[in-house]
Structure 1
């Protein structure tokens, strides 16, 4: 198993791998995280057009919110633009909040996943899935 810093770098690279099409990237990332992390750790808000509703499709991800430990990572999509936010939260109270670019947000997600993987088997499986 690689040392923790190397694992975080590999995980961040794996998370960035398909980020050229932002809409597709956020949809795939949100689905993978929701399937892999414990219930309640990932919240997804979707935006559906009338055509998507009529076709029975879920719609595109408008907001992805991941809570790991005392860190909450939010990613919002609006007209092809992405805005990240990293918050420090304790028992539902936000102590700090700051905007983050996509690369910084992915790095923070990778560090949070790696930290959670050290103590949680399900998070470890998530990390291994992204690294595979």
Structure 2
């Protein structure tokens, strides 16, 4: 159910990136989500944040990276211990979302804050 909620509106990539990053940043514990944006001159002049270029989610020893550059999202699932990446595995968007859903659900089993984040992701609040 969480993977389906995360997959909502994935047809429009730019809008999907904005919604996904905003939802995750607001729902997960502070420091779990890093968002890298690209700002063009028009964005700077208009005071906009710019387009999401990269999303980095760290939950325990799992790090999930989603790159939006090149017009097509590319995911990567990493195992990281004390800041050192031990393994990297490139994945498609659907698999990245499944991995994210599993990581959030696993953390929610033992962490009240993650459980609240899971509820916000599912309920859209």
TM-score (norm 2): 0.94
Equivalent position to 1:50, from 41, 56, 63: 41
Measure, in 1, the Cα distance between the counterparts of 2:45 and 2:110.
43
Specify every segment of 5 or more residues in structure 1 that has no aligned partner in the other structure, as ranges.
1-9
SS in 1 for 2:68: strand
1:1-132 to 2 correspondences below 5 Å? 10-132=1-123
TM-score (norm 1): 0.89
Specify every segment of 5 or more residues in structure 2 that has no aligned partner in the other structure, as ranges.
none
Instruction: Report if aligned partners of 2:61, 2:81 keep a CA contact under 8 Å in 1.
Output: yes
SS in 2 for 1:40: coil
* Paired residues, number: 123
Give the C-alpha shift of residue 110 in structure 1. 0.1
Measure, in 2, the Cα distance between the counterparts of 1:55 and 1:119.
43
SS in 2 for 1:88: strand
Give the C-alpha shift of residue 130 in structure 1. 2.0
Measure, in 2, the Cα distance between the counterparts of 1:122 and 1:24.
27
